[in-house]
Amino acid sequence: MGEVEQRTTAGSRLGVQENAGISTLEHGQKMPTTPTGKLISIKVQMLDDAQEAFEVPQRAPGKVLLDAVCTHLNLVEGDYFGLEYLDHKKIMVWPKHVILKFVVKFFPPDHAQLQEELTRYLFALQVKQDLAQGRLTCNDTSAALLISHIVQSEIGDFDETIDREHLAKNKYIPQQEALEDKIMEFHRNHIGQTPAESDFQLLEIARRLEMYGIRLHPAKDREGTKINLAVAHTGILVFQGHTKINAFNWAKVRKLSFKRKRFLIKLRPDANSSFQDTLEFLMASRDFCKAFWKICVEHHAFFRLFEEPKPKPKPVLFTRGSSFRFSGRTQKQVLDYVKEGGHKKVQFERLERVVFATTIKIICSVYFLRVFLGLMHAHSAQPKPMFLSFCFQRFPTDKAYFIAKEVSTTERTYLKDLEVITSWFQSTVSKEDCMPEALKNLIFSNFEPLHKFPHQLFKGNRAAACPVVSSFVCFLINQLTVHLRKHTEVLVELENGIKNSRKLETLCRDFELQKVCYLPLNTFLLRPLHRLMHYKQIMERLCKHYPPNHVDFRDSKRDLKIQTNTTQSFMLKMENFQKLHELKKDLIGIDNLVIPGREFIRLGSLSKLSGKGLQQRMFFLFNDVLLYTSRGLTASNQFKVHGQLPLYGMMIEESEEEWGVPHCFTLRGQHQSIVVAFVSSTRGGKRDGFSLHFIESPEESTVDQESEDDLNASRTSLERQAPHRGNTTVHVCWHRNTSVSMVDFSIAVENQLSGNLLRKFKNSNGWQKLWVVFTNFCMFFYKSHQDNHPLASLPLLGYSLTIPSESENIHKDYVFKLHFKSHVYYFRAESEYTFERWMEVIRSATSPASRIHVLSHEESHAY
């Protein structure tokens, strides 16, 4: 129980505190209305050391001033922050001479709980301040890594000259000179990282440090040993110097109280003992003891309670103990408020004090830095400061800006995919003596220049040669085309090597089971070619964006024509070759699948009529033969070929009336006939041949007996894959009773996308920020773009793509919904352009290819 409390003036409360973690907010005193009267000006020092003056009524409580600061900052999650004052001389001062500090008051266990980018930015400023003041102690490596993220957010990508000048002018930590080389070494690895991502990484590292968010309060134990007390979200901590020696979890604490300058912790009795332990600590004075007790009460209420505690009724005659109670929203209430959309969401983008070339750093070239600057000056108004010494403004709306940003995000994924070959596969091959030296040199001598090429662009300063986006893309196309001369030979020779060496075949199969190899190995070998196709799409969008009189329009049209002629035929040939070899791994019972002249057309699930009734079978259609298979019951889960029907002379007859089976037809070959049926009748149009039947797969191609739990890769982690990769397109089509054509695969190559999305499950309230890569009809989820392998994947074949209805209470902009049976996922994009792009590429996986080409421009933007 607290000591009997006497009412104190605001001035005395401000004057007694010595620890910088003490809030001056007196939450226990609620005012029904804001007092009126004389206004006084009070200065508040922000987290970036800028000072702002606020006018508040002379008798207003501190919360009025804090609310004014949060409103000024446009800060939604202001409950994590507070105002503090420190007067070392303990001299009473008049409010007009007071400078209060705006600081972080409550440090949550995981910064992912901070929903707003602005909140995370302010937390990052607090970490920066704690480093400079020596409160956040850590080893040299951690300090250098933290500072490298701060530098990345302030000046952008690494440049040795700029880095040295910046570090010479800015001191982030005492004795910084000894760490400068290590700071620059870490900064070199952050190429392409935006300020928001740098803040995220900074907080991710800081929260693991023992002194993160810790404010030490000097005390002594019963033996008179000097110690420090601190309070955190977990409970009360005891430090000796900067080393934690004890911790008292909130669950173990029964009661907190103070008596004069003694701070008392009463612990709950152990399960095996009724003895109640009481710990006693001696602090410098009653005021220090009471202040620390208040901080403990506030932390316990904020992190442990579901809602604000109700004040106790005032006694009639006598008062005993303190009347102080926590007044304000708890963390749970703050999280619920933000997640449920209780505020108006405003998207902002930082403009730092240091000249930052762009918030979107193109990882592949310095050319885009000039491009971005040109776009920003041409299409963005001059920014107006809103608060502090940094400012935010709405995202640019010019489409060329977002096209350039898309190149940036997809380039990150492209480089990661190249590393699968140049780093991971090369490391695996070097450990085993199973690949001929000639083949090894052929593969890695072709891929290493492709991987090094983007980094070499940074070393050369040829930006003036590329003033527009189209010139940049054309330059990349020309450079990639030079390296692709031997690409056909690489893929062919590797497949021949696998065919001739069982040991090499085993090595490649085992490598494909590693988490880093999230796609078939030969798909990674085609990634440079896929990148060219994406550049083609970029050029097409630029041509549609620029008016005919634009300086870039003519160049874009010319470059697009050259690029299309260069890659189209080459692409079709290589994709067919790769698809045949990929299917060869999924099928057993056929030895001559890959033969000259054979072209893959479509694969899909149909029902075949037999003596036992309709049974599910997987069909594979080529230009010369039709295969039908069933999934094996072995550990490999490969598909066993049951029959082959040559297409030469095949007749197709609709036979619903003959067999009494809806939507069935008969395939009559020269030596064999089979009856097959579609699962659903949701198809339109006249059918005049087997290929048309197969191509017009139903939109709602699912069966009732299928369970999402049967599909390992539908929403589970990649760590639980079977020995044979279970999320291949063949297996997804089997489980979801759908089909995919070669046209769909070609469209999928052009519709690859990556970037940050916020994800929410149907029955959850929170939005989780993820780095998402969409490729091969599947969404792969990463915690950040720096991760080497995905955390989980979501195949989208069979899913429906819509926007949430009003009844779903999303109340967010740029949200789309993915739905398959009882499985519902919501995703949120950052802008209208990125929202439309995600809708466009995902629709390519959720809509049949026969419908893709008839979607109008208006339909593609209807959401």
List the beta bridge partners of residue 781: 772, 792
Pick 161 or 270 by higher pLDDT: 161
Does residue 605 register a pLDDT over 60? yes
Percent of residues, the chain, with pLDDT higher than 70: 69
Lowest average pLDDT, out of 142-151, 321-330, 404-413, goes to 321-330
Average pLDDT of 39-49?
88
Average confidence score pLDDT of the chain: 75
Instruction: Determine if residue 385 is left, alpha or beta; phi over 0 gives left, psi from -120 to 50 gives alpha, anything else beta.
Output: beta
Q: Tell me, what's the pLDDT at 472?
A: 56
Pick 215 or 689 by higher pLDDT: 215
Residue from 284, 117, 299, 86 nearest 199 by CA = 117
Pick 88 or 371 by higher pLDDT: 88
Residue from 706, 724, 708 nearest 716 by CA = 708
Going by the DSSP 8-state scheme, the letter that residue 16 receives in this structure is S
Average pLDDT of 396-411?
73
Does residue 847 register a pLDDT over 60? yes
Which residues fall within 8 angstroms of residue 684, CB to CB, at 6 or more apart? 696
0.75 cut: is pTM over it?
Answer: no
Q: How confident is the model over 753-801, as pLDDT tens digits?
A: 999 999 988 877 788 889 999 999 999 999 988 899 999 999 999 899 9
Pairing of strands 639-646, 587-588: parallel
Lowest average pLDDT, out of 312-326, 396-410, 736-750, 835-849, goes to 312-326
Pairing of strands 600-610, 673-677: antiparallel
Q: How confident is the model over 448-484, as pLDDT tens digits?
A: 877 776 554 444 433 333 344 555 556 566 666 655 6
Q: In whole angstroms, give the CA distance from residue 103 to residue 80.
A: 9
Does residue 237 register a pLDDT over 70? yes
pLDDT band (50, 70, 90) for residue 22:
very low
CB-CB neighbours of 35 under 10 Å: 13
824 phi, psi to nearest 5 deg: -130, 130
Lowest average pLDDT, out of 133-147, 183-197, 672-686, goes to 672-686
Q: Tell me, what's the pLDDT at 322?
A: 60
Pick 32 or 293 by higher pLDDT: 293
Average pLDDT of 742-760?
89
Tokens 């006249």 belong to 686
Q: Tell me, what's the pLDDT at 700?
A: 37
Q: Tell me, what's the pLDDT at 142?
A: 92
Average pLDDT of 432-443?
88
Does residue 122 register a pLDDT over 90? yes
Q: Tell me, what's the pLDDT at 121?
A: 92
Pick 193 or 131 by higher pLDDT: 131
Q: Tell me, what's the pLDDT at 312?
A: 61
Lowest average pLDDT, out of 419-423, 493-497, 540-544, 759-763, goes to 540-544
Does residue 6 register a pLDDT over 60? no
Pick 170 or 92 by higher pLDDT: 170
Tokens 């939450």 belong to 27
Pick 328 or 266 by higher pLDDT: 266
Identify whether the C-beta of residue 50 lies closer than 8 Å to the C-beta of residue 244: no
Q: How confident is the model over 156-168, as pLDDT tens digits?
A: 888 888 999 999 9
Q: Tell me, what's the pLDDT at 4?
A: 37
Does residue 717 register a pLDDT over 80? no
Q: Tell me, what's the pLDDT at 466?
A: 39
Average pLDDT of 697-724?
36
Pick 11 or 803 by higher pLDDT: 803
Residue from 426, 578, 428 nearest 507 by CA = 428
Which tokens hold the place of 353? Answer: 């004090």
Q: Tell me, what's the pLDDT at 228?
A: 93
Does residue 694 register a pLDDT over 60? no
Q: How confident is the model over 476-509, as pLDDT tens digits?
A: 666 666 556 667 778 888 988 998 899 999 999 9
**Which amino acid belongs to residue 350?**
R
Domains in the chain with CATH codes: 10-111 (3.10.20.90), 113-206 (1.20.80.10), 217-312+319-339 (2.30.29.30), 367-584 (1.20.900.10), 600-698 (2.30.29.30), 729-860 (2.30.29.30)
Does residue 147 register a pLDDT over 90? yes
Q: Which helix (H) or strand (E) holds 80?
A: none
pLDDT band (50, 70, 90) for residue 352:
very low
Q: What are the DSSP E strand ranges found in 77-123?
A: 81-84, 99-104
Lowest average pLDDT, out of 14-18, 55-59, 309-313, goes to 14-18
Does residue 722 register a pLDDT over 50? no
